[in-house]
Amino acid sequence: MEVDLESREQRDLESAKVFEAMGGYSPTIGIIGAVMGLIQVMTNLEDPQSLGSGIATAFVATIYGVALANLLFFPVANKMRGIVRERTRYEDMMIDGIIAIAEGENPKSIELRLRGFLQ
92-119: per-residue pLDDT in tens? Answer: 889 999 999 999 999 998 988 888 888 7
Q: What is the pTM of this model?
A: 0.76
Instruction: State pLDDT tens for residues 50-81.
Output: 888 888 888 999 999 999 999 999 999 999 99
> What CA–CA distances, in Å, run from 11 to 14, 15, 95, 115?
5, 7, 19, 28
